[in-house]
Amino acid sequence: MMPNRSWLSLVLATANFIEVSGFHRFPTSFVSHPSTFAILDASNRRRLSAFIENGNEMNDSSTSTRGNAAGMSSLKDAEAYNDVVSAAVDFTSIYLRNGIVTATRSARDIDSNSRRLFLYNIPLQSSHRYPMYPPIELPTKIKARIPSPSGYKIAVLAEEDVGPTSGGAAKSSDNNNKRHVFEIWTDGGHRLANRVVLPTDEHGSVCTDFAWFGGIGWTPDESALVYSAEVNKPKTKSFFASASSGNTDEILGGWQHVLGVGKGEDWGEKYATTSLLGLFCLNVESGRIGRVENVPGFTTDSREGGYVLGQPIFSPCGTSVVYTGWDAGAGGGMPRRLGAVYCFQRPCKIYSSPVSELLRRLANPIIDDDERIAPSSDAPFACITPIDRLARSPRFSKPVRGLSKLAYLCNTKGFDTHGGCMALHVTDWDMAKGYVIDESRDVLVDVVQMPGERGDEMEVSGIRFPGLFLHQLRDDCFSPDGKYIVTSTEWGPVNKIVSISLVDGAVVPINFDLTRSEGFSDGASQQFICFTDEGGAIVTQSEPNRPTILGQLLPTFLDDTSKYAPSRLIADLSAISSVSFSSFEPDVKDSIGFRYQLINTQPVHGDVKVPIGSILLLPEGAGEEKPPLIVVPHGGPHTCMSTSYVPSYSFLCKHGRYAILHVNFRGSTGFGQAALESLAGSAGTLDVLDVVAATNSVIDAGLIDSGRVGICGGSHGGFLAGHCIGQHPDLFKVAAMRNPCTNLASMVTSTDIPDWCYVESFGSGYYNFSDFRPPSKKEVCVMWDKSPIAHLEHVKAPTLIALGMKDRRVPPSQGIEYYHALRAKQVPTKLLVYDDCDHAIDLVMSEADHWINTKQWFDQYL
């Protein structure tokens, strides 16, 4: 018998009654009958679907929240989440040697709450879509694999557990149960030729953060390595240990808890164990190690400030080390160590230090006591970029006629925001003298204020060239013929590979698509990895609905850039299950259950009229029934959401059937420096208006259900979520925040980036980086006015808050304060607490728990 409307009204009325009185059940034959769905509107169809999935039970969110959440946390959610995270292909390193592409892939393992590493060796000439050989799982102790230039040797850095009685083996000064070991493999990685335990009386832990501070480089003749490692802190002891400690002057009594002595002054979020980094050389045959002493701010005592030295490489002549030095106090621009991760405006310059004498001494297997204590006789260091506030990522070309090109990223003026446009400079390196040639510096690509101002006609996703937005150049960025530098850069919401002419600095996008033999994709994000011996290139490609694939540009890709570059797929890696109850199909689909499109919204507000670049994800069948929308402003705020595969949003779109709108508001990277800096001083206003404008553009296009719009964001994205539900409570019905900034006035004195609070509140040029002081009474008032907490009285949206309790970027007190304020207002809210997580909430189990909770929160209220 077909259910009639009055019967259905009774059901819905009973469901509403259940909101107060508990649980009830209806016959499954009734609630699942097609005619029941036919007479419901979209909102109630969604309610009834959830009703069926949860075992035909409905309960009260105010009296049985925990029971309701437990009922909604179905096995189906866990299986769906496993699908999207298992399909992710996250490469941690890729290199090419002797026709073999070696790639290391990181895969989530929810069962063990960890990440596993898998090594793939893929023949470049392979015609298989999938790798010919199965991957090899790497032990977790392997921290880096660095091939020599020829590929004959591989340096493997391992972190090993050691016991308290290991025969005098060296142990890390940062962790008494760990030590670092370099293994030198020869014969293409088949023979272990040497194994060197790094002595802790020389240095602390080796820096393996290769995305920023870290770096390991080979000499051209493959006899030695240079690497960055923690400088040892002074030796300390308790006041009460003085009688039995030997009474040496080298040990400081009672200093073990003093910041900068027994306790290192670190670089904030993600760098809790990084204080001062020095440079060290290792001869791979003798096993001897020596510190590079002719460097800026050299000290054996971390109390003296100094510099953090990283990104080291050897010059092509092998006589000098070239590296980046960050001011850690000695340069006068860092009176307090500020957070470093995601903060690309920290003062840094490029230096060179001659090391010929040091390398000669290390090559001698006989250690003489006089030689051990003798100071280095190498010439003093030199600053290559003395006039630049920001300079990093030095890279050399192959030498030609006694000269090599040294390329690097720089911004002479610098910027106060945490991200910004970089220039590309080159200078000549004299192979005979081992130094740069004065007056040879050339600006290939300068900082770009507005897209297209250089006269470039080519567009990517409707945007003309916005300038270079990248953090590092690839090691192998010079073309074999020495005519071009090839790199990846943010170009609007797309990561684009570009060629840069060494003759005139012309920037040309390289168009291709690894998923088809002809044509190219304007929306796919692509990364340049390295050149092949024949002049082609190894590249990767990803899209919001497609995990990363590995491919090759053929050797002619630089010849005619007016069309699309010839390319081929090398490997489409299969999924690796993240849990033991895997249920997904073994083959990864070409497109994971949804489509996407790029939307440029032209703003009418603000002084810099640059498009608001958004990415809209639409679930399958979105044309038949308008889906609810989750708006996602990114964090930063001076970063960019690109068209890359992100498992969490794939989960919400594919399985949750939500449309997802990623908004790159003005202030994002990839849209020119002027648009980026226009947000400084206008946070909480300009970015909010941009998010609302982008949301309304999608609503006006008739693509989504305008009555069901939620917002989700982390960090500055959480800041914007709080602003949006406070300033526009009738538009945004539900919110989910992750480590949100909610009250700048209370955040400024407890974050690792107080400069961020000043710059976003008062604008560029306001904060004095050479000084440090607490905010004034007037400044506190302005910061409060610019915070989401100022609009709390208007908030009515149910709000989920997730916090990493080890977060040093946005203190957990921000979210806790906001949570209790919402509870006091009787606004439905829920707090997720992850004790072992920092700002990113990226521990595998916590990440999974957070995103399934997020989906269920939107299921319940949207």
Q: Angle at which helices 844-861 and 65-72 pack, to 10 degrees?
A: 110
Same-domain pairing of 63 and 206: no
Return phi, psi of residue 839, to 5°: -60, -35
**Measured distance CA(789)–CA(356) in Å, rounded:** 59
CATH number at residue 823: 3.40.50.1820
Q: Is the pLDDT of residue 22 over 60?
A: no
pTM of the predicted model as reported, rounded to 2 decimal places: 0.89
What single string gives the DSSP state of each residue in 643-666? SS--HHHHIIIIIT--EEEEEE-B
Residue 138 lies in a domain: no
Residue-wise pLDDT for 368-377, tens only, equals 655 554 566 8
Residue 362: inside a domain: yes
Domain boundary among 72, 94, 111: 72
104 in Cβ contact with 92 (< 8 Å): yes
Q: Is residue 429 domain-resident?
A: no
pLDDT in tens, 733-766: 999 999 999 999 999 999 999 999 999 999 999 9
What does the block give as tokens for 549?
């694939």
pLDDT tens for 240-272 read 875 554 555 567 788 888 887 888 889 999 998
Sheet holding 546-553, edge to edge: 525-531, 537-543, 546-553, 567-571
Which range, of 15-29, 77-91, 700-714, averages the lowest pLDDT?
15-29
**Tokens in use for 591?**
């497109």
Q: Which of 42, 72, 102 is the last residue of a domain?
A: 72
221 near 359, Cβ under 8 Å? Answer: no
Report how far Cα 3 is from the mean position of its chain's Cα atoms. Answer: 53
Kindly state whether residue 696 falls inside one of the protein's structural domains. Answer: yes
Inside any domain, residue 473: no
Flag whether pLDDT at 541 surpasses 60: yes
**367 part of a folded domain:** yes
Check residue 127 and give its pLDDT.
64
Is 560 a member of any domain?
no
Domain's final residue, options 48, 72, 96 = 72
Model pLDDT, residue 251: 78
What pLDDT score was predicted for residue 518?
76
Structure-token pair, residue 10: 């009774």
Share of the chain above pLDDT 70, in %: 84
In a 13 Å sphere around the CA of 81, the CA atoms on its Cβ side amount to: 25
Number of domains, the chain? 3
Answer yes or no: do 63 and 207 share one domain. Answer: no
Give per-residue pLDDT as tens, 91-112. Answer: 999 999 999 999 999 999 999 9
pLDDT, averaged across the chain:
87
The pLDDT confidence band at residue 13, using thresholds 50, 70 and 90, is very low
Residue 279: inside a domain: yes
Same domain for 822 and 683, yes or no, is yes
Range of the domain at 352: 202-388
The DSSP element (H or E) to which 289 belongs, if any, is: strand 289-291
* Secondary structure of 456-481 in HEC code, one letter for each residue: CCCEECCEECCCECCCCCCCCCECCC
292 vs 320, 403, 434, 740, CA distance in Å? 10, 25, 16, 42
